[in-house]
Amino acid sequence: MNHHPPTPVGRALTVVLGALPFIVITLLVFGQWPPLDRWDRSVAARAASYGAVRENMVDFWQVVGAVTQPWVLRGVMVAVAVYLWHRRARLLTVWLVVSAGAELGLVQAAKHIFDRPRPDQMLASADSWAYVSGHATAAFVMAGALGVVLPSVRGWRRRFRLLVALPTIAVVWLTSVDRIALNVHYLSDVLGGWALGLAILTATSIGFGLRPGLRRRRRRTPSADGDGTTAPPRAAVIVNPIKVGDGVAFRRKVTRALAVRGYDEPLWLETRVDDAGSAMAKQAVEYEADLVLVAGGDGTVRVVCAALAHTGIPVGVIPAGTGNLLARNLHIPLDLDDALERVLDGRDRRIDLVRVHGDELDTDRFAVMAGLGLDAAIISDAPPHLKKQIGWTAYLVSAAKNINHPSVRVQLTIDDAEPIERRVRTVVVGNVGMLQANIPLLPDARPDDGLLDVVVIAPRRVTQWPIVVWRLMTRTNRTDMYLERFTGRKVDIQAAVDVQRQLDGDPIGPGRSLTAEIEPGALTARVPKRR
């Protein structure tokens, strides 16, 4: 069954219907409708005569009145709001506080607007106007608010909800009867308080997109409503079907791992040839997923992470590609079962992304590395069938083929420093530093340090490559003509001729420019807990 969000007219109509009982009761009270007026006076007279001969009952009801003071009931709402804030249910928290504030303000406004005297024979002291009953309004708002909140809080079993809901309903009745038994309010004052409470809950619930008194339905489509913080959590899984071998077994394992941890049935999204994950990530955002798992190559991971930048939705990488560079650098195991356990039981970590643009390249983002020159040529020339058969070692075959890749003159600008010119084989800009086989290309790079690390590799002859490899493997920091390192927040590379370029292991075509700028803390990544 499809559920469509209410239109503005529908929302306004709901608010009017919620306020209608208060409007009707108010008109009847101050229009002195005879049946209601007689009822009020008859109940007040009976309460006065009953209390006159039963002082012990008057004492009892005064205790009830003291315990159910509006400030006590508002305090309960604030305490629940604090609990919800701790549970990261921010929308419900704000709604509770706003509802409590609206109740306080509107009750005082109603008393001063209508100036209705209290019954003549009160059995307890009360010095404000009668209409509406503040006690009854506060009790109704508290009970109604908890009726919205409790079904939405993860981990509250239905039986436990009833154990809380029944006492709140009892509080409404006790508070209301107390006001009548002490003869400090007419019956219509209490009914008006209930009606005002209903109007407040309806207006604030509609304003915050909630549905008073009903549990919000969890749907399995991207158009689901909810604030993403209430029961049970839901995950979206973005899969590159080409990279995931046994799709049925993979889906079964992931679904089971999520179910064990209390997640809803996940939303499954597959990438397409014409879309490596951007539209799927947007669907996950619309679905308001609490976690996005992405399984694919470095290209799929990059596109999904770029689309989820600044959303705050945690992204868990499930290695399934050739390089798996982001997973390696975040210490996520390459084994599926181990990766699922470490990611799903892990912690959220804010990491940087890098915004990049260049000629013939739309503004994009990467999470691992971008390169210009030899490294991009190696990636472009790696045979796809070898990558599928032998994994990342296929890049060694391509490296041997491109060992004599020509050098190119580039102009390199770091932040606002003066440009420097070099003749290079390759320039790599990195957010993280480790390559496959734990090769520390950028040993000082950290994914959350707010800095870009740059390495310029420039051997003049083939015989100088062993020196470069030795320097890389031993993490030597010495700078010379073969290898230089820089750090900064923005890096601009301008080449003299068109050369191959790559982002996170994906070739993006030849060009002459590449500009990268750090975006600190742009992505929330789900990573293994520290050991």
pLDDT value at residue 367: 93
Quote the CA–CA distance of 239 and 209 in Å, as a whole number: 32
C-alpha dihedral (43, 44, 50, 56), degrees to nearest 10: 120
CB atoms inside a 10 Å sphere around CB 125: 8
Quote the CA–CA distance of 146 and 459 in Å, as a whole number: 70
C-alpha dihedral (519, 521, 527, 529), degrees to nearest 10: 150
Helical (H) or strand (E) element with 99 = helix 90-114
Angle value at C-alpha 419, between 414 and 425, nearest 5 degrees: 80
First to last CA, the chain: 47
Q: Which residues pair with 414 in a beta bridge?
A: 491
pLDDT value at residue 5: 43
> For residue 233, what is the DSSP state?
P
Is residue 469 classed as helix, strand or coil in its secondary structure?
helix
Task: Tell me the DSSP string of 421-441.
Answer: EEEESEEEEESS-B-GGG-BS
CB atoms inside a 10 Å sphere around CB 14: 17
Helical (H) or strand (E) element with 102 = helix 90-114
List of residues 6+ apart from 202 with CB closer than 8 A: 14, 15, 17, 18, 19, 212
Quote the CA–CA distance of 328 and 438 in Å, as a whole number: 9
User: Strands 267-270, 235-239: parallel, antiparallel or unpaired by DSSP?
Assistant: parallel
pTM higher than the cut 0.85: no
- Taking each helix axis from N to C end, the angle separating 278-286 and 298-307, rounded to the nearest 10 degrees, works out to 40
pLDDT value at residue 404: 72
> Do 197 and 144 form a contact (C-beta atoms < 8 A)?
yes
Quote the CA–CA distance of 26 and 32 in Å, as a whole number: 10
Is residue 312 classed as helix, strand or coil in its secondary structure?
coil
Tokens at 117, concatenated: 């005297």
Quote the CA–CA distance of 181 and 68 in Å, as a whole number: 14
Per-residue tens of pLDDT for the chain, all 531 residues: 333 444 566 677 888 888 999 999 999 999 999 999 999 999 999 988 888 888 888 889 889 888 989 999 999 889 988 887 776 567 778 888 999 999 999 999 999 999 999 998 888 888 889 999 999 999 999 988 887 776 555 444 444 556 666 788 888 999 999 999 998 999 999 999 999 999 999 998 888 766 443 333 333 333 334 444 445 898 999 999 888 866 788 888 999 999 988 898 899 999 988 898 899 999 999 888 999 999 988 889 999 999 999 999 999 999 886 678 899 999 998 888 899 999 999 999 999 999 999 998 888 999 999 999 888 888 777 766 665 655 556 666 667 777 777 889 999 999 989 999 999 989 999 999 888 767 788 888 999 999 999 999 888 877 777 777 777 777 666 666 788 899 999 999 999 999 999 898 888 889 999 999 999 999 999 999 876
